[in-house]
Structure 1
């Protein structure tokens, strides 16, 4: 680093402050009060703008303040998921999950959370990522996962344990007790998008579960000597027979319904 070779009235040597040396007669650098106060005020002003409380035991506060100011100028502040702001400071970058989170406020949750909070996703790693939890019916702490618990309540996805058990595979949550909640178990389930009765005669709600079905149909075919399913007199081939209708309005595997969305 290149230092200024001289500063009027300060007494730098090769651009640096030096101590007095009585043996060699070297005079020490002089720091006039006006100059020292000006430099100190300049540094403190940057620290204050960058949210750093002055601490004489630390030597990296100016750097931290400048980094924070750079982040602010970009319009997004960086935070750890374990140390999120407790008030709205605008969009923030959450370092562990590499996402921009926004302040959210509802009757069930107030704080920072991902706009993707609650979205069912296809896990591609053995262990969930920092931004994921396993959807295998486990129980989570309401405080540690307040954002997810708030999402479940906001979207009307909380049911009793009995309903959850009777519909394993549905995108349902359970209010277990004062401190914990149960997440959905989405194993062995195909996704299905919500719809109307225009094509299936069975309108679907967000998160609902449906067992596998076989579309209603009739097996027709000629059977010699049958009339209406019975042999005619003499056994003469006088008609055809068929099985009765069986099944439902569509053929489909068991599945869970989600609203169709596209992540951009």
Structure 2
């Protein structure tokens, strides 16, 4: 497609159309039928290629056709519909779900310090989430994460079943474990070491020089070399200058708004809530048991919780009993609750289109 340069009668100027100019006498360009038809056919071909039927009154067909051609020219396998196809594999989407155990694990790790980390504090108040490293015996049930971390490393005997002992840090300096370096050999991790001087000696020399005496008879004196001890000085230990701190160990992950929360009591309360009798529908889902239930059969609710039974038919009769009590007799359906441990029976009379569902775990 181009300007009609090959048609002399069109009157192009510099290869383009111009308007008539009465002042200069410039004649306006003409559009020949040949070129006009060619342009129209060119546009119509694009419109038809885009799956459109040319319509004189519609002025957006060319745009719609171009969009359709571009869209249809991309192979379906090249169209990316997931984040992974763009190389994004770690995105969080609204379809991602977490289990109760996974959420609890995430909450437990919200603290920057892991359980078992030792931190020095310049005050005598033990922060929430910590225990003083004082060699005391603690309950593994109260501090399960710390018990799992320390194990029996610092037990000395007599801790009792279900207990473990903390290391003793009061009045002690901490020293980096040798771990094969060869500077402090023979030490186990967490072992205690007594104070010690590095082996050394102190010497003080004194004596007399040898000489010859005068007179008759003459004599000769021998030289003498001796050593003496120094007087004791100092205190009961050898130590550098230091600052007294209270070493504490991370025992559990404290809540952000800890206030006066007793974590041990909170853990017991949460456990009690988990063990409480739950309401109908709490953690239960409807299950279609049509194919596994038989009319007139006695069933026992062994879930440990109340369940709800719903039986529906389009014609016939439904008779329901829980234990020794008749709970429903209907022409179309029966809905009733079965307590934990109770028996229940559903008897059907000429049922059509049976649907037997139970709300249970």
What band does the TM-score fall into relative to the shorter chain? under 0.3
| TM-score, normalised via structure 2 length | 0.20
| TM-score, normalised via structure 1 length | 0.26
Higher strand share: 2
Could you say which structure has the greater relative contact order, defined with CA pairs below 8 angstroms and 6 or more residues apart?
2
